[in-house]
A and B are shown apart, each in its own frame.
Chain A
């Protein structure tokens, strides 16, 4: 199965590089094609945001990137080592450099275990330090994510709020000093007022610890806020990759356009547009031929069914996999890079 290509991969030193990753589940007849030939790279110190609706395969992609999920085909390179070629023992060791933060903060912590024990556990597994040293180290990390260890260390997850549990999950992910943090919908179960706290925290620890992040979410505003580069996924494939400010100002793929149009605006003056997309996501057991978005795409033509669009570069750093996207994003040309750079500098 041909994917949407690798034109968007960059040369240079990528901390994580996924090449032609395919993940499928189930027996042949009802085989779920969760991820179909997806490639991406994350540079050191960068945050890559992966967005898409539920069922698009973004969580599977995250798990595959952490090698928690086996690949059907393709490879994942972490620091230029092909993780799929490692033995179980080597993989276990290599995976200490990649840690995950999950969506539901309460169920991702062991309810019977005290907070400090949960945070200490990764150290105990790797037999790092004495028990006292581990305890001290875990307390320090808890403190760095805004949890008071004196008050909270002895408590259990059910005694904490969702926001606090997510802080603890982040602390636990940090104990082994990973290089890459994979966050799978880390704020979607949290209240708005707490969500902002966690997003700011993630940004702070990323700066302090020189982390690289793969940030997965369905909320485009959240993804825009945290990312240096955004990849949009639809039904197991990437459809657009761009720096966030460019993507949101001049989306080139019809799916990205529809996704952006569907976001409600917290401004009562803003016009509520008409429904941008009709219908549901097609079944991943039997995806459409050619471009997977064609069944819901307003611009679909015969070519889209026959031929799979490949990633191509519209403007520096802006890639899209669509046959008909050229005429639209004329405005997204050269200055985008400059504004993004001055905005972040």
Chain B
């Protein structure tokens, strides 16, 4: 008899998009060496300098592990793979980057615009094989 297929967590987008340090999870983005702007997710081309025809290179950069919640919603109707209900929020990081991510709670009493949230790893979905999809999530502080 065939052994049941082992379920393994998969990472999204992949583990290169974050680093875990003593103070928590830090998202890894890119910084333009010309205009010094930060971007997430990482990229090869600066959206500000490229259209201006400015020579530039994108360097690896690290975001703070905490940001401020700009807005959020608790989603009830969505594709099954995201296991609704789940909460989505836009988080503003001190580096001038805004990132969309799921929150670690769906309890509206715990969530407030302007609050500090901490990045951490957590399940955001399941894939077609039933494996857990792990990615960055934000925990209200």
A binds B: no
